């Protein structure tokens, strides 16, 4: 019995727009263990979440603690409404829901096949200004990350925030905590750009159930490359 509608989420938006095959519910993807960088990233995210929610900061590795030490004042200088916000965006209807009381971040509830779930690291909603800000914390290499103005993960999250809050201005950005400073890339995206992204997402989600492999340079990011028929045939 297939229990998941698909394997896609907002963090894999850019791969989803280029190839949907890996996200089909009937494609078997072997489980993978989080590497050291991912563990440091998870710890840093958890500490930021504790800070925003006013909880005691969770103890973490020395590396994550060092990154959080530079990230903390940056967060404290801003007024984020929430963190680790779980959202579900319906690519057919362009509606979205939020689940701030989720049982665990990135543990998504069963949902419709046209729904793309995601977790937004830092969110600010300014109701009088009808503005939302969607920030993703990146602890890995900056060279692998698409700039904020074109970043598919951020665009998907901003679409969800626009639908939830009926906002008319959308800011989105990337925050890179380093050992001695924080680098940022934060931009305003136009509503036309969000509409264009909504159309791309709708087409990808509709194509997903019957999609075939679409190999290319993006395959190096794919969680299913070991099982992909295009790779077996000697593709990328």
* Residue located via tokens 């009808």: 130
Q: Residue 236 in 3-state DSSP? A: coil
- Residue nearer to ligand SF4 on the CB measure, 35 or 216: 216
* Residue located via tokens 């969607």: 134
- Residue nearer to ligand SF4 on the CB measure, 194 or 224: 224
From residue 119, alpha-carbon distances to 122, 161, 177, 207 in Å are: 9, 11, 19, 23
Q: Please state, as a whole number, how many other Cβ atoms lie within 10 Å of the Cβ of residue 132.
A: 26
Binding site residues, ligand SF4, CB under 6 A: 19, 21-22, 213-215, 218-219, 222, 224-225, 228, 230-231
Name 107's bridge partners: none
Sheet holding 82-90, edge to edge: 96-99, 82-90, 115-126, 131-137, 169-177, 182-189
- Residue nearer to ligand SF4 on the CB measure, 16 or 67: 16
* Residue 201 Cβ vs ligand SF4, minimum distance, rounded to whole Å: 17
- Residue nearer to ligand SF4 on the CB measure, 65 or 223: 223
* Residue 211 Cβ vs ligand SF4, minimum distance, rounded to whole Å: 8
Give me 63's structure tokens.
Answer: 């590396």
* Residue 236 Cβ vs ligand SF4, minimum distance, rounded to whole Å: 7
* Residue 212 Cβ vs ligand SF4, minimum distance, rounded to whole Å: 8
- Residue nearer to ligand SF4 on the CB measure, 160 or 224: 224
* Residue 26 Cβ vs ligand SF4, minimum distance, rounded to whole Å: 13
């Amino acid at each position: 019995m297939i229990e998941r509608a698909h394997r896609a989420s907002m963090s894999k938006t850019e791969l989803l727009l280029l190839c949907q095959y890996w996200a089909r519910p009937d494609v078997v993807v072997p489980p993978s263990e989080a590497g050291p960088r991912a563990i440091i990233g998870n710890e840093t995210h958890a500490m930021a979440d504790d800070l925003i929610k006013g909880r005691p900061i969770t103890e973490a590795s020395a590396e994550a603690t060092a990154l959080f030490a530079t990230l903390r004042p940056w967060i404290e200088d801003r007024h984020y409404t929430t963190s680790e916000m779980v959202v579900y965006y319906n690519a057919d209807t362009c509606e979205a829901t939020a689940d701030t009381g989720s049982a665990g971040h990135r543990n998504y509830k069963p949902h419709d096949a046209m729904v793309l779930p995601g977790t937004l690291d830092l969110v600010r909603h300014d109701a009088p200004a009808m503005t939302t800000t969607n920030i993703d914390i990146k602890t890995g290499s900056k060279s692998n990350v698409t700039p904020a103005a074109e970043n598919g993960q951020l665009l998907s999250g901003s679409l969800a925030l626009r639908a939830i809050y009926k906002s008319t201005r959308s800011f989105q950005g990337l925050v890179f905590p380093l050992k001695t400073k924080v680098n940022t890339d934060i931009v305003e995206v136009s509503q036309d750009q969000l509409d264009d992204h909504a159309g791309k997402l709708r087409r990808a989600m509709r194509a997903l159930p019957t999609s075939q492999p679409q190999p290319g340079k993006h395959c190096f990011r794919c969680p299913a490359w070991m099982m992909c028929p295009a790779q077996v045939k000697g593709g990328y």
